[in-house]
């Protein structure tokens, strides 16, 4: 069976949607952050797949940059979460609601 | 890379070098004033190098950047905004005993991301600039981590901005799938070559990219983060968020969506028009209900970017120029407003509510005058720059025939009178007796006072004589394909 | 891309499920059937547990992990450059020098900030004192 562009799109789209709903629906800060990374990884997978089907290298190069950016975002995000944990001793999102929207 | 390429890249290199130099200096010698001076020096050198880059414009640094006159106008605007924020934050951070040098590194890196966005011509530059801007902002929002609201605001901003960055990234991937190339010029060629029926990948990708950018612009329906983050972040960071971080996204959107002829792409166009109309209505309506000055400014900024989207939709020759001109007026007014708020905040909490500003004129006439000029400009009162900005927006919209949006614009802008005037009235009330407002007593430092007064003078000068600036912007922002 | 055979993956997946599922099923069928109060507690050689097993780890582990991630990604870019080094020539080399210099500046910053110290400064001072006292006593014992 030949892998076509629709298979790449389906798998990465599925991962992306899982990550998207993870960010919106989960209550633990760390799990939300993991879902965020999942979304970025889904986009990376899509880019590599599309790069193959377009027969150019630009997608792969973009992925290298996204990996670096995702790592920096993780470093910063985890530092913020650790700082928040030290103040509030919780990582449950529903307890972090002193800012009223 | 030739010498001309390096000269065109001088503004970017100056800001990056300043960030590295500040980082090395604070490793050995901790002095907040020195860090602020080095940051300012770097930004001013970058501003001074703009004419050198101008002499080489338009210059493409293939394939990522395109330093043309459009980019240079926005670079100037963003650098001036960052200079103002640096001056404000130097005074603001003096109140806190903590490691303060890193704030300037983050500010410079964030500004570098904004500069890259203004000159971006390729998806990689778009994404890298956006992420550089955002990641530094995550830390800046939560920098005063002794305040709980700051950390919560940082976490909320982290999650929402990360979510929309991932959306934008997936959109870029889809457009790449449709086009086979990542350059904005390829997008322009594809859109021009197929006037009806763009590939579904392309349309979906462009919608996702717009969603990601619309979050940064805080337009409806991606506006929910704005009031909380504006309230929780320190005032200079809010100033940066409200001005520089949005201005660069407007610049990159103008470039990205430039090839779109609004009349032909009805699906996309209606979506964008709905977003613009909803932002104007929601922003102005919700601002009426607020009591907190920062939240009023947050909701009104939603409305302002709705207005800018109207100019963006108008397109043609006048659209980008009107949007850029409005950005200039919005930047000046917002910087003054948040600068004054940051200044008047005592250490333990921000001077936030309108009641805190009651009788401000009798206690601190200078601050009240500056804040009044800024609010009059945001309101769009004649003789201020804000009026001229709205006038040119309406002119551009009328030239493109966007009548429903223009009606919404005028109606919702008049709603602004109610909440803006409430602030003005509070400031001038309580005559004679000791007023009950609660603001700090320290006088303005010379640098902050200079910056604030210069911005206010700029607002009035542009309000009275907008032609030179407008002609310059119109000449500079003709986007050559 | 030539069509790769598909069925080995299915066989492998079935094998994995069979082995894992078989182990679980067999152990629940053939294993002991106690269900008393102490069955659920963690086993510590018959001694009742005294406290929770969770530790409060020092933040220096987190710092070292994050530093590792950042410098590992620098390495990724260095690998990518190393592969293309002939095509990139001298301009590529100087570009890479600038990149590595910026990261070296970050390393200097972390060094000065004490992120690389595994013991705190006070502990280092105490260790140094003890080492010097020990060396002095050794000298006094060796002299006469």
Task: Find the DSSP H helices in chain C.
Answer: 7-30, 59-83, 85-113, 121-142
* Predicted local confidence at residue B194, as pLDDT: 65
Instruction: Outline where DSSP puts E strands in chain A.
Output: none
Each residue's pLDDT tens digit, B217-252:
988 888 888 988 888 888 899 999 999 999 999 999
Contact residues, chain A, for C6 at CB < 8 Å: 1
The mean of the pLDDT values for chain C is 86
Chain C residues at the A interface, defined by Cβ less than 8 Å, are: 1, 3, 6, 59, 62, 66, 69-70, 73, 76-77, 80
What whole-number distance in Å separates Cα of residue B152 and Cα of residue B271?
32
Q: From C59, which residue of chain A is nearest by alpha-carbon distance?
A: A82
* Token pair belonging to C55: 């530790």
* Residue found under tokens 């209505």: B281
Distances from the Cα of B339 to the Cα of B33, B351, B448, angstroms:
18, 12, 8
Query: Where is pLDDT greater, at B16 or B99?
Result: B16
Ordered DSSP codes for A36-84: HHHHHHHHHHHHHHHHHHHT-SHHHHHHHHHHHHHHHHHHHHHHHHHHH
Each residue's pLDDT tens digit, B24-55:
999 998 888 899 999 999 999 999 999 988 88
* Residue found under tokens 């009591």: B291
* Mean of pLDDT values over B264-284: 83
Contact residues, chain B, for A65 at CB < 8 Å: 124, 127-128
Residue B61: strand pairing partners:
B65
- With respect to residue A96, please indicate whether it lies within any of the assigned structural domains: no
Each residue's pLDDT tens digit, B346-386:
666 655 777 777 777 777 788 888 888 899 888 888 888 88
* Predicted local confidence at residue A84, as pLDDT: 86
* Predicted local confidence at residue B432, as pLDDT: 47
- With respect to residue B129, please indicate whether it lies within any of the assigned structural domains: no
- With respect to residue B305, please indicate whether it lies within any of the assigned structural domains: yes
The separation between CA B156 and the C-alpha centre of its own chain, rounded to angstroms, equals 20
Query: Where is pLDDT greater, at A43 or B417?
Result: A43
In the predicted structure, residue B454 carries a pLDDT above the cut 60: yes
Contact C109 B24 (CB under 8 A): yes
Residue whose C-alpha is closest to residue B258's, from B410, B385, B120: B120
The separation between CA A30 and the C-alpha centre of its own chain, rounded to angstroms, equals 12
β-pairing, B65-67 vs B59-61, is antiparallel
Contact A67 C76 (CB under 8 A): yes
pLDDT band at residue A97, thresholds of 50, 70 and 90? low
* Residue found under tokens 């430092």: B445
Dihedral class, residue B2 (left if φ above 0, else alpha if ψ from -120 to 50, else beta)? beta
* Token pair belonging to B437: 């407002």
Contact C91 B1 (CB under 8 A): yes
* Predicted local confidence at residue B381, as pLDDT: 84
Domain count, chain A: 1
> Domain range holding A86?
5-91
By the 10 Å C-beta count (0-12 exposed, 13-18 middle, 19+ buried), A34 is classed as middle
How big is the CA angle at B468 (ends B465 and B474), to the nearest 5 degrees? 125
By the 10 Å C-beta count (0-12 exposed, 13-18 middle, 19+ buried), C140 is classed as exposed
Distances from the Cα of A15 to the Cα of A9, A37, A38, B204, B434, angstroms:
10, 11, 7, 17, 62
CB B58 within 8 A of CB B478: no
Task: Find the DSSP H helices in B344-439.
Answer: 360-363, 365-379, 385-400, 403-428
- With respect to residue B159, please indicate whether it lies within any of the assigned structural domains: no
What whole-number distance in Å separates Cα of residue C128 and Cα of residue B206?
63
Q: With a CB-CB cutoff of 8 Å, which residues 419-448 of chain B face chain C?
A: none
Contact B27 C106 (CB under 8 A): no
Mutate to test the interface with A, among C58, C73, C79, C83 (most CBs of A within 10 A): C73
Residues 6+ positions from B100 with CB-CB distance below 8 Å:
B32, B35, B93
Q: With a CB-CB cutoff of 8 Å, which residues 4-63 of chain A face chain C?
A: none
* Predicted local confidence at residue C6, as pLDDT: 82
Q: Is B20 on the interface with C (CB under 8 A)?
A: yes
Query: Where is pLDDT greater, at B194 or B92?
Result: B92
* Predicted local confidence at residue B434, as pLDDT: 47
**Residue B348: how many other CB atoms lie within 10 Å:** 7
Superfamily of domain C56-113: NADH:ubiquinone/plastoquinone oxidoreductase, chain 3 (1.20.58.1610)
Query: Where is pLDDT greater, at C109 or B476?
Result: C109
What whole-number distance in Å separates Cα of residue B364 and Cα of residue B258?
46
**Residue B224: how many other CB atoms lie within 10 Å:** 14
Query: Where is pLDDT greater, at C17 or B265?
Result: C17
- With respect to residue A81, please indicate whether it lies within any of the assigned structural domains: yes
* Predicted local confidence at residue B442, as pLDDT: 62
What whole-number distance in Å separates Cα of residue B262 and Cα of residue B309?
12
Each residue's pLDDT tens digit, A40-80:
999 999 999 999 998 889 899 999 999 999 999 999 999 99
Distances from the Cα of B225 to the Cα of B29, B212, B213, B465, C61, angstroms:
37, 13, 14, 37, 33
- With respect to residue B118, please indicate whether it lies within any of the assigned structural domains: no
Contact B28 C112 (CB under 8 A): yes
| pTM as predicted | 0.89
Q: How far is B159 from chain A (nearest CA, A)?
A: 7
* Token pair belonging to B58: 């338009």
* Predicted local confidence at residue B433, as pLDDT: 46
Domain count, chain B: 1
In the predicted structure, residue A10 carries a pLDDT above the cut 90: yes
Residue whose C-alpha is closest to residue B44's, from B71, B5, B92, B83: B83
* Predicted local confidence at residue B453, as pLDDT: 85
Each residue's pLDDT tens digit, C52-107:
767 777 788 888 999 999 999 999 999 999 999 999 889 899 999 999 999 999 99
* Token pair belonging to B289: 């209900």
Dihedral class, residue B430 (left if φ above 0, else alpha if ψ from -120 to 50, else beta)? left
User: Which ipTM did the prediction report?
Assistant: 0.94
* Residue found under tokens 């870029």: B172
- With respect to residue B21, please indicate whether it lies within any of the assigned structural domains: no
> Domain range holding B433?
262-481
CB B356 within 8 A of CB B348: no
CB B361 within 8 A of CB B432: no
**CATH code, domain carrying A41:** 1.10.287.3510
CB B8 within 8 A of CB B61: yes
Q: With a CB-CB cutoff of 8 Å, which residues 72-111 of chain C face chain B?
A: 91, 102, 105-106, 108-109, 111
| A37, A39, A44, A45: CA torsion to nearest 10 | 120
């Amino acid at each position: 069976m030949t892998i076509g562009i629709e298979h790449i799109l389906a798998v990465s789209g599925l991962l992306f949607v899982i990550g998207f709903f993870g960010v919106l629906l989960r209550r633990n800060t760390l799990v939300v952050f993991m879902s965020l990374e999942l979304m970025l990884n889904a986009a990376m997978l899509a880019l590599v797949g599309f790069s193959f089907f377009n027969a150019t290298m630009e997608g792969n190069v973009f992925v290298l940059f996204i990996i670096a950016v995702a790592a920096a975002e993780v470093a910063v995000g985890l530092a913020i979460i650790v700082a928040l944990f030290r103040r509030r001793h919780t990582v449950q999102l529903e307890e972090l609601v002193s800012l009223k929207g | 890379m030739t010498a001309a390429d390096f000269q065109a890249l001088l503004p970017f290199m100056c800001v990056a070098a300043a960030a590295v130099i500040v980082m090395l200096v604070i490793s050995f010698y901790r002095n907040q004033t020195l860090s602020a001076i080095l940051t300012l020096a770097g930004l001013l050198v970058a501003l001074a190098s703009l004419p050198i880059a101008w002499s080489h414009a338009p210059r493409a640094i293939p394939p990522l950047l395109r330093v043309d006159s459009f980019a240079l106008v926005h670079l100037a605007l963003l650098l001036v905004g960052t200079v103002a924020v640096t001056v404000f934050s130097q005074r603001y951070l003096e109140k806190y005993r903590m490691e303060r040098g890193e704030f300037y590194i983050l500010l410079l890196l964030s500004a570098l991301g904004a500069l890259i966005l203004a000159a971006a011509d390729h998806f990689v530059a778009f994404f890298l600039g956006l992420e550089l801007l955002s990641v530094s902002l995550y830390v800046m929002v939560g920098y005063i981590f002794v305040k709980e609201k700051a950390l919560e605001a940082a976490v909320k901003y982290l999650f929402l901005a990360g979510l929309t960055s991932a959306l934008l990234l997936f959109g870029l991937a889809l457009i790449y799938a449709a086009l086979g190339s990542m350059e904005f010029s390829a997008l322009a060629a594809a859109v021009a070559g197929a006037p009806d029926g763009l590939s579904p990948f392309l349309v979906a990708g462009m919608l996702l990219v717009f969603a990601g950018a619309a979050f940064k612009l805080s337009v409806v329906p991606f506006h929910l983060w704005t009031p909380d983050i504006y309230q929780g972040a320190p005032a200079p960071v809010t100033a940066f968020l409200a001005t520089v971080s949005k201005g660069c996204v407007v610049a990159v959107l103008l470039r990205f969506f430039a090839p779109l002829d609004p009349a032909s792409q009805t699906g996309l166009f209606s979506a964008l028009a709905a977003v613009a109309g909803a932002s104007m209505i929601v922003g102005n309506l919700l601002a009426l209900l607020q009591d907190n000055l920062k939240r009023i400014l947050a909701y009104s900024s939603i409305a302002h970017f709705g207005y800018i989207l109207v100019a963006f939709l108008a397109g043609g020759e006048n659209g980008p120029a009107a949007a850029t001109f409005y950005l200039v007026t919005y930047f000046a007014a917002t910087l003054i407003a948040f600068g004054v708020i940051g200044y008047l905040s005592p250490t333990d909490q921000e001077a936030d509510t309108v009641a805190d500003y009651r009788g401000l004129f009798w206690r601190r006439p200078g601050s009240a005058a500056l804040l009044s000029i800024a609010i009059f400009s945001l309101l769009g009162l004649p003789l201020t720059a804000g009026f001229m900005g709205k006038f040119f927006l309406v002119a551009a919209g009328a030239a493109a025939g966007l009548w429903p949006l223009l009606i919404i614009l005028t109606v919702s802008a008049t709603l602004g009178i109610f909440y803006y005037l409430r602030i003005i009235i509070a400031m001038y009330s309580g005559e004679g007796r000791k007023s009950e407002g609660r603001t700090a007593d320290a006088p303005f430092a010379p640098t902050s006072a200079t910056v604030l007064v210069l911005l206010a003078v700029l607002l009035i000068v542009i309000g009275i004589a907008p032609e030179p600036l407008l002609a310059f912007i119109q000449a500079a922002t003709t986007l050559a394909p | 891309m030539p069509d790769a055979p598909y069925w080995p993956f299915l066989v492998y997946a079935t094998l994995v499920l069979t082995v894992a599922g078989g182990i679980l099923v067999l152990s629940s069928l053939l294993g002991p059937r106690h269900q008393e109060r102490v069955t659920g507690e963690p086993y510590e050689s018959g001694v009742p547990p005294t406290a929770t097993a969770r530790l409060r780890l020092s933040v220096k582990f987190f710092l070292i992990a994050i530093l590792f991630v950042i410098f590992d990604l620098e390495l990724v870019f260095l690998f990518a450059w190393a592969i293309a080094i002939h095509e990139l020539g001298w301009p590529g080399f100087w570009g890479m020098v600038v990149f590595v210099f910026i990261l070296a500046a970050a390393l200097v910053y972390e060094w000065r900030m004490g992120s690389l110290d595994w013991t705190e400064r006070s502990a280092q001072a105490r260790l140094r004192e003890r080492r010097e006292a020990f060396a002095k006593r050794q000298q006094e014992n060796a002299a006469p």
